[in-house]
Amino acid sequence: MIAISDIVRPSIKQIKPYSPGKSSQEVMAELGIEEVTKLASNENPLGPSPKAIAAMQQAAAEVYVYPDPQCCDLTEALAVHWQVDPEGIVVGRGSDEIIHMLGLAFVNPGEEVIYSDPPFALYPFTTTIMDGKSVRIPHKDFVHDLSAMAAAITGKTKLIFISNPYNPTGTIVTADEVAGFMAQVPDNVIVAFDEAYIEYVDDPNYGEGLPFVREGRNAIVLRTFSKAYGLAGLRIGYGIAPPELVAALKQVREPFNVAGMAQVAALASLQDPAQVARSFRLVQEGKQYLYGEFDEMGLAYVPTQANFILVDIGIDSQECFDSLMRCGVTVRTGDIFGLPTHIRVTIGTREQNQQFISALREVLV
């Protein structure tokens, strides 16, 4: 019998499967402990809006019905919220699915996709699936090197990702920097502004992508309900782009791609502005606490505009992870980002942050 490895598409063999890290349940079972403080996945410890929970409870009895394939109610609400054409909005299973749609709709074999290195995992994943060529541009002091990214554009470039704030470092590129970059991007290249963490930004110089969408540029802004809105488990996000670009994405969108429960929860969340305010305040307070503790411990860290902090703990990140896990705390190791002595820690509640610092002090003694 022929081996599957002999008939699978060659590009698939090049994909390194995404590693989400160990779940809290796995850690508790493995170590025999009763509680784990999970600070590894940039989740919102406050959870969803009470309005979202109520909406889901009401919608639970209707899960036998297929969801609205066009996400009409949510799309209309988003259009009003952002003052854009509803035809310029596409909803997906998290912004991850829209990244995948971009690959399916636009990237031909051999065409180039540019992104900063280290990247969010979906950028190389999607590029490789489509037999595209990844063009990785090393970060410059933990920030996108937009000058180098612009210089890397060739006649084969199809798509550019700008993660802003940048996962995994938490840094941003400014409005002036983005404007200068966009002035160098030809019209046949699509720029995707991945703004999953935008609700946490407090820097007034932040370079938002929406103005370029409003200008009609070949640009798309990616947003999510997973972070500030606390709906990570429902997998729902959206893109805003010129209608013609969105129409191409809808051509490759799977039928009934977004669950009805996710749609109603996102709609209710959007109608609760206090949800974002609560999440923003939690992160602002938490990062100041963590900055102070890191300073006291003599640890270098990257000031963040997101809900996580990249910190250099001065020892092997996997060793640190294992030790923290035995203390009941999980974080993200930096080795997967090419930063072997760094960890990325999600900003949690006051109690979670204190538990992390207590465990880290014990590990680094």
pLDDT tens digits in sequence order for the chain, 365 residues long: 888 888 888 887 888 776 666 666 776 666 667 678 999 999 999 999 999 999 999 999 999 999 999 999 999 999 999 999 999 999 999 999 999 999 999 999 999 999 999 999 999 999 999 999 999 999 999 999 999 999 999 999 999 999 999 999 999 999 999 999 999 999 999 999 999 999 999 999 999 999 999 999 999 999 999 999 999 999 999 999 999 999 999 999 999 999 999 999 999 999 998 999 999 999 999 999 999 999 999 999 999 999 999 999 999 999 999 999 999 999 999 999 999 999 999 999 999 999 999 999 999 98
Instruction: Give me the pLDDT at residue 99, please.
Output: 98
DSSP string, 194-262: E-TTGGG---TTB--SHHHHHTT-SEEEEEESSSTT--GGG--EEEE--HHHHHHHHHHPPTT-S-HHH
User: Residue 182 CA to chain centroid, in angstroms?
Assistant: 22
Instruction: Give me the pLDDT at residue 363, please.
Output: 96
Residue with token string 């999510």: 224
- Domain borders along the chain are 4-47+274-363, 50-272
Residue 39: burial class (beta carbons within 10 Å; 0-12, 13-18, 19+): buried
- CA pair distance 168, 173, nearest whole angstrom: 14
Instruction: Give me the pLDDT at residue 101, please.
Output: 98
Instruction: Give me the pLDDT at residue 20, please.
Output: 67
Q: Tell me which CATH code domain 4-47+274-363 carries.
A: 3.90.1150.10
The C-alpha angle 15, 17, 19, rounded to 5 degrees, equals: 150
Kindly report the pTM of this predicted structure: 0.95
Residue with token string 């009934």: 256
| The CATH number of domain 50-272, selected from 3.30.465.10, 3.40.640.10, 3.65.10.10, 3.40.50.2300 | 3.40.640.10
Which run of H or E residues covers position 282? helix 273-297
Q: Minimal CA–CA distance to 212: which of 188, 236, 192?
A: 192
Instruction: Give me the pLDDT at residue 184, please.
Output: 98
